Each structure stands twice: as C-alpha cells, then as structure tokens.
Structure 1
Amino acid sequence: MPDPLLHARGLRKSFGDLEAVCGIDLDVAAGEAFGFLGPNGAGKSSTMRMIAAVSPPSAGTLRVLGMDPVAQGPQVRARLGVCPQEDTLDNELNVRDNLVIYARYFGLSRRLARERAEELLDFVNLTDKARSKVDELSGGMKRRLTIARSLVNRPDLLLLDEPTTGLDPQARHLLWDQLFRLKQSGVTLILTTHYMDEAEQLCDRLVVMDAGRIAAEGAPQDLIRQHSSREVAELRFALGEQEVAAPLVARALEERAARVETLPDRVLVYADDGEAAVETALAAGLRPVATLVRRSSLEDVFLRLTGRTLVD
C-alpha cells in the first residue's frame, strides 16, 4: 500500500493496569473508507482518539498523514475533520453561524468562512435552515450539521464516531449518500459504527476489534465468505420444543450445514443453500412453527467473532 494516510504498528493504549488497545497493526490508504467494528470496550474509541491526535499512544508506531501525532499534533489536527458521537453544536448560534465561527478557528477569513458555510449547507441540505437555531432542528438535521462542521477545513481525513446513531432510516440513508459523495470526492473516511448494514454500505475495508485486539480484517464481503456461510436458515419452534428440537436439527443437517447455532428463541443453520437445509429438516420430521432463509451478513461475522454476551 503506497503512502498510507494512516500507518500503525504495535499500537497500544493503556490506562493504568487496563490495556485498552493491545498492539494493533493498521494501514489506511488515501481515498479509502475504513471501519472499526466491535462491542463496547473493544478499543475502538481509544484507537480513534489516538488517530485524532488527542490521546498519545502508550507504545508502538503511529503515523497520521505522514506525521507523528504526538510531536506534530497541531499540524495533524489542522488536516483532520472530526465528527464526534455526540453533537457538540453551539445552541446559542444559528445554523449558519455554527459553521462560520468554527471555520474561523482554522484561520479562514470572514468572507471565505461565509462562502464555505453556504457551500456546506447546500451539501447537507440545510440551506433553508440557515437562520434557524440549533434547538429547532431534528436529530437528523443536527447530525448533518455536525458533519458539515467537520468539513469546514477541507480535511484530508474525516473521522466519524457512530455517525448515524439514533437516526431514523430516512436520515441514515441520506447521510450514507453524503458520506459516499465525500469518498468519491477523495476524502478518506475512518468510522466506527454499531450498524452492520452501515459498515457493508460504506466501508471498503474494516476491522473487527474485540478486547483491544483485531479479530479479523478485510472487505465486508470477504469477511462474510471467510467466517460465515452464503445463507442462514432460521428455524423457530413452539414454546417448550426448542431444547428437544435443537440437537435433532444439528443431527439432521450434519452433512449439509457448515454450522448449527442454538439460541434461546431459534436455531440458526449456516449453509450454502438455506432452502435445502429447511427441506432437509422437514424431511427429518422436524416441525418448526416458522422458518426464514436470508443471506449471511456482517452481523453473523461480528457475533461469531465477538460472541453474543452483552458487554457493558
């Protein structure tokens, strides 16, 4: 990979005895959309803070835009755009002034700051809200304004922490379209997300992190091929029949399924042909009350690599 915008080797971050990031290796190329997936406490946010030059690494090598973020923090931050998980907009200002004043922090003249604000309001479809106060905006509008603000300095690298958390489907898809347009214009994106469909839509490559380490890395479809099957058949049984039926499903599909997983409410059959797996189960005398065949997804990969136990 020639001249990656992000280069990390043996990157670690510790907080006392707690090692949040345990020696990870990363390379992100210019123009790429790169994602971090992982449960709470996996080390995603700690990694993003090191990349953003606001938290120094405890050990290892980190280069962002070819610079050392510890020794050259101001120079790195001047070329970054950061969209935090929580909107940190100024409620005392209207929508346009939130952009104009933020642009002034980067040394833009008043005229250029106003021009840049108008350009970004058009980009995120908020021109008609330019004079509105932040409190008058919907959650989706606030998120779009936060992304617009992160672009005032024309960053080479845009960091997005859970960019669509809490948004309705329409707002999420609108943001996806805007982020895709940014990528097409040459902006490099690094994002964290809990939405598997978002990662599949936006990311060229991603890593799945767990307990501070990288559990897997690759393009979304490559990860699905490597860690799951082409399809998944979900079999639900009547109340009280699940425990009896689950081992029977595994026995009947031993040769056809790559893997059978028993959950409290259903049995998942991972197979290349989900319909054929269901037919085999029915032919063996099993009688699920409901069946569903779907394509395998990044969520299946995520849960297999990080487990189904809730992490606080």
Structure 2
Amino acid sequence: MCEGNASTVTEFFLLGFKNIENLRISLFFLFLLTYTVILLGNVFIIILVSECHHLKVPMYLFLRNLSVADILFTTNIMPNMLYGILTGGADISITGCFIQYYVFCSSTYTQSLILTVMAFDRYVAICHPLRYAALMNHKLCLHLIYWPWAICFILFPIEVASLFQLRFCGSNIISHFFCDFAPILAISSSDTSMVETEDFIFAIPLMFMPFVVVTVSYFCIVIAILKITSIGGRWKAFSTCSAHLTTIFIFYGTQITIYIFPVGDNTVYGKTVKSLLYTVLTPFINPIIYTMRNHEIKRALQQIIYKKSKTSIYPKFR
C-alpha cells in the first residue's frame, strides 16, 4: 500500500517527445513513413525467402526470422508512439506497459541470438567450407531457429513477474515514448535492486555472451579471409558476410552506446533521441542493407519479376 497522501498508480502516462508542438505533424508522418518502410521491407524479405527455392539455405532462413523479430519489435512500440506524438502523450495500463516491456525485451534478445547464429553460420561457411553442408544440416538449423525464440519468450515472464511486485505511488509519468526498463524503475516506490539484478543476469547470456561469440567468429573469419591468396577470392568471401557485419555494428553499437557506455547528452531528451537509434533506425536500415547489398536477394527479386512479367505476357488459357 502507498503511505500518506500518495495514491496507488493504476496506469502510466508515456510522455514521449516534449516541446515538439511545431513539429508534431511532421514527426508523425516521418515516423509513419519509416514504420511503413520497416513493415514492407521485412515482409518483402519474408516472402522472398519463402518463395524462392535457392534462398532456402541457412543464412536466409535466419534472415527471415530476423525480419519477423524486427516486425514484432517495431509493431510493439511504434503504433503507440505515433499516437503519443499526435496527442502529446499516451496513457497505458500497468499491465499493458509490462506486456510492452516483455515483448520489447524478448524480441530484442531474440534479435541478438539470431545475429549470433548468423555469425556462426558465416564462420562455418568461410572457415570450414568443405564441412558446411554436413555441419549446417536441416536439423541443426531448425534448432538454431527455434531456441532463440523459445529461450527469450520463456525467460522474460520471470522478470515481468518481478515488475508486478513493484509499487507505484504518486507520479505515473514515464519520461519516455515506450515502457523501457530504466524509466519504469525511476518512478517505482519499491526497492528495485532485485529486478535490476535479474535484468543484469539475463543480459549476460542473452546480450554479452552473444556479442563475445560474434566477435570471436568474425576474428576467425578475418584471419581465414586474409589467408586467401587472390584478391577476388578475398572480396567474394567478405561480400558473403558484409551485410550481416553491417547489421552487427549497428545493433550492438547502439546497445553499447545507450546501456553500457553512455556518452554525450544523458538528459531525458538525449536518452529519448538515443533510443530512437535502435527502436526506429536499426529496423529501418536492416532490410535496406540486405536488399541493396545482397546479390542473391537481388537475383531472387529479378526471377520473381521475370516470372510475373512472363505470366502476364503469356497468360494460361483453360
């Protein structure tokens, strides 16, 4: 129970972006366009990988799951964020807030594990090419796809259950555009040390260790590429992992900047702007990277366009 005159909070108010009255409509349409591109780009990748037989290989099956995680991640945050921009903030129930945080964490850590699996796939392909087909068999790929989702979505109800044990008295204003961990704890009237410990414990196997695995994998990949004598062979080997490497830099770079080594403007406004890097910018860039810099994706798109145009020119008569 809350003591004194403090009342028990039954819902939160997401403050979102402050002092943007003159830019409200412009920001709304900018983020709406961005969200549309994220959805269309990732749905495009999912359909392309599902329809094209030559893309049914481990790398692109993992990429399809990364696109699903991106859609879930952004859809969990951006519609409510868009509403908050238009109205100057958004009300959200405590249960709704914690569910949003649960989906946010689960999808983020799923992305982390899928990116790690993709790094392992590139390591096997470049460092052990003759054993690639045997090592990355269908059964192993299914496990590598299933377990990132299962682990993250099974683990995080534990942390959410701990959040439900917290008390919220007095202020219900969350100085953020979605229910993130630190803003929630900032307005809690309870001791949050146990929840913080749980969050740190989860971050070690789901964020820190994957980062180590990715770093070691690419260290081995670089060494293997440098051993290739021909420049053409080096470039071909590097091009197979360049898109994934770019995604790795963006994903972990934003996470490290915001949560591990925060630099620059650490005011509420500064943290809000930084959060946009991984909630909006990263999912926006990912499909662009994989469609613009991947020759197999381009070839698959050309094949689909050719088939569609051929069908339209020579329709089947019954």
Higher strand share: 1
> With CA pairs under 8 Å and 6+ residues apart, which has the higher RCO, 1 or 2?
2
Same fold (TM over 0.5): no
Higher helix share: 2
Shorter chain as denominator, the TM-score bin is: under 0.3
Instruction: Compute the TM-score of the two structures, normalised by the length of structure 2.
Output: 0.21
Instruction: Compute the TM-score of the two structures, normalised by the length of structure 1.
Output: 0.21
